[in-house]
Structures are given as structure tokens and as C-alpha cells.
């Protein structure tokens, strides 16, 4: 008896009289669109010894970087992520266009590990990123929360999407980055004991691009230092920090873009530009970019500048 099953706009025909045909000659549409989304990377890896199909299927998916690492499935907690990435990175190359993807589900993800940046003191509740070309993907700012922060030194193409990061320790940063290239999309860095985003002076090009992000309720929203550092914020909000919303220092350059940009309700300055740093606001001068801050909306000294640039 022949039976037809329609999946993903394709017709699959198999003979039910042949035992286990679905396993020996599997309709790949079923695996790709129905079964694999229910399995984790670990599940499929452990299935490799079941039959020859699973080994070949695993090799194909792993080689094409189809499988994501799921926290809570493949590794118990976020602290175990880098160990797995180290192992798998030795077996295949990840790139900016084809990064290692870490999926973070709903709820709180506690970081218990610590990290020490070069020449600095140890940072508790901070996960050190030891490989380049990694994307951390949450389920939404209001859904996925990282209890701790990330340390990134001398790594490139690190991306965070759709999550909240809060590191409440005394020197806690949501993201501490140096000599690195990082992108943020729909991320909230808030409630941090120090700066939500902190970039010290660097020895090589350091670039961060943040889109639709929040920097709130921390000691400082974001602090950007160094002549080799460029930070671009697109439609980002900096609010309700204990000191400044945004600090530019040590000859760094900051670009602000987007009508939704707002720097407000910080207890000290909205924007603080010092020591020959530059803040370029790519908005008309009448745009309500910074307002309702405790001391100055825009404060410059030591050669720092804040300038509206109408493109």
C-alpha cells in the first residue's frame, strides 16, 4: 500500500510494507522541518550510532552549521557554553557570515563563572568569550535575562540579540569589551553595578554597533574610551543611571543615529564628552536627543566635543 504525505509543499511517497523505511530511507523534509527542531545538538550527536543514516545526517548538518547550541538542552547552564564551543571550533571553522549560534530560552540564565581581563582585577559573574564568530540569541528582552555579564577581549564578530543582561555586582558590567568587534540588536543592558557597556582604552581597533538597545538603571549607561574605539548607537535609549547616561573619553568616537534615540533622566549628565573625545549626533539640532538629566544634558571638557551632524 502506498501512502502520500504532504509536507512543506512537497509530496513524499513511501511504501508502508517495507519495515522501517522511514528510518533507512528517511524523507528529509520530515527530519528537517518536523524532527530536528525538536532535537538539540546533543540529541542528534548521541543518535549517531543508531544507524548509518544518523551518522551521515549528523555530519551533513554539522558541516553546514545548521545545528544551534541550546542552553538547557545541550548544556545545563550558560557557563558550559564556551567549553562546547572550544571543542566544536576545533572541528570546523566558524565565520562572521556563518557563526556559532547559541540559543537562550525563556527565563533567567545565571552566570556563576568569573573572568579576568588582561592587567585587571577578576570580574565575578562574568562569562569570558574565548572564541570569535559567536551569536547569542535570546527569546526577547522581556523574556530572556542573563544574570551576569560577558567579557570579550581580542575577539571579533560577537553578536547578542533579543535579551536583557544585568550584572549587579560592585564592578559588574553587562558587556566589557576590549580590542573586539561586537554587535547588539534589541538588547537591554540594565541594573549593572558599573557601566552597562564598558570599553577601556584599547591597543587595536575596537568597534561596537548597537541597534534598538537600552542602557538603563546602571551606575553608567555606557562608557567608551580609547582613540582606537568607535561606538555606533542606532535608536538606542540611555536612561535612569546613577551617574551619566553616556560617557566618551580618551579620544574615543561615538555616533548616535535614529529618531528614537533618547538620553534622559540620568542623575548626572546625559552625555559627558571629555579628553578630546567626540560625540557625533546624526540628527537635526531640534531633535529632542537628551533631556531631563540631573546636571547637564550635554557636558564637555578637556577638549571633548558634542556635535549635531545633519547627513
Give DSSP secondary structure letters for 112-128: ---B--TTS--BTTEEE
CB 245, CB 270: distance < 8 Å: yes
pLDDT value of position 310: 80
pLDDT at 10 over 50: no
What's this model's pTM, rounded to 2 decimal places? 0.86
pLDDT value of position 41: 73
Summarize pLDDT for 95-146 with one digit per residue, the tens. Answer: 999 999 999 999 999 999 999 998 888 999 999 999 999 999 999 999 999 9
CA distances from 254 to 139, 173, 205, 270, 307 (A): 29, 19, 14, 14, 11
CATH of domain 68-308: 2.160.20.10
pLDDT at 78 over 80: yes
Q: What is the mean pLDDT of residues 156-177?
A: 96
Q: What is the mean pLDDT of residues 210-224?
A: 98
pLDDT tier at 3, thresholds 50, 70, 90: very low
* Ranges of each domain in the chain: 68-308
Residue with cell 562574568: 126
Q: What is the mean pLDDT of residues 214-236?
A: 98
Amino acid at each position: 500500500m502506498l501512502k502520500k504525505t504532504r509536507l512543506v509543499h512537497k509530496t513524499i511517497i513511501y511504501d508502508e510494507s517495507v519495515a522501517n523505511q522511514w528510518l533507512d530511507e528517511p524523507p528529509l523534509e520530515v527530519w528537517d522541518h518536523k524532527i530536528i527542531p525538536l532535537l538539540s545538538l546533543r540529541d542528534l550527536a548521541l543518535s549517531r550510532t543508531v544507524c548509518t543514516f544518523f551518522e551521515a545526517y549528523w555530519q551533513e548538518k554539522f558541516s553546514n552549521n545548521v545545528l544551534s547550541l541550546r542552553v538547557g538542552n545541550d548544556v545545563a547552564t550558560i557557563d558550559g557554553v564556551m567549553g562546547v564551543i572550544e571543542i566544536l571550533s576545533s572541528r570546523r571553522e566558524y565565520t562572521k557570515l556563518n557563526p556559532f549560534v547559541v540559543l537562550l530560552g525563556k527565563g533567567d540564565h545565571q552566570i556563576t563563572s568569573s573572568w579576568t581581563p588582561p592587567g585587571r582585577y577578576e570580574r565575578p559573574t562574568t562569562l569570558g568569550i574565548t572564541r570569535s564568530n559567536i551569536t547569542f540569541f535570546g527569546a526577547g528582552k522581556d523574556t530572556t535575562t542573563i544574570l551576569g555579564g560577558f567579557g570579550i577581549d581580542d575577539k571579533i564578530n560577537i553578536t547578542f540579540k533579543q535579551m536583557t543582561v544585568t550584572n549587579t555586582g560592585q564592578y559588574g558590567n553587562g558587556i566589557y569589551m576590549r580590542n573586539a568587534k561586537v554587535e547588539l540588536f534589541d538588547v537591554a543592558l540594565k541594573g549593572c553595578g558599573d557601566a552597562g557597556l564598558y570599553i577601556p582604552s584599547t591597543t587595536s581597533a575596537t568597534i561596537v554597533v548597537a541597534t534598538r538597545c537600552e542602557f538603563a538603571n546602571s551606575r553608567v549607561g555606557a562608557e567608551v574610551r580609547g582613540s582606537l574605539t568607535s561606538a555606533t548607537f542606532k535608536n538606542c535609549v540611555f536612561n535612569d543611571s546613577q551617574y551619566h547616561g553616556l560617557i566618551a573619553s580618551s579620544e574615543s568616537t561615538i555616533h548616535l543615529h535614529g529618531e528614537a534615540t533618547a538620553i534622559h533622566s540620568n542623575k548626572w549628565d546625559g552625555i559627558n564628552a571629555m579628553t578630546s573625545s567626540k560625540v557625533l549626533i546624526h540628527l537635526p539640532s531640534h531633535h529632542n536627543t537628551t533631556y531631563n538629566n540631573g546636571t547637564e544634558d550635554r557636558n564637555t571638557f578637556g577638549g571633548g566635543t558634542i556635535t549635531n551632524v545633519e547627513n
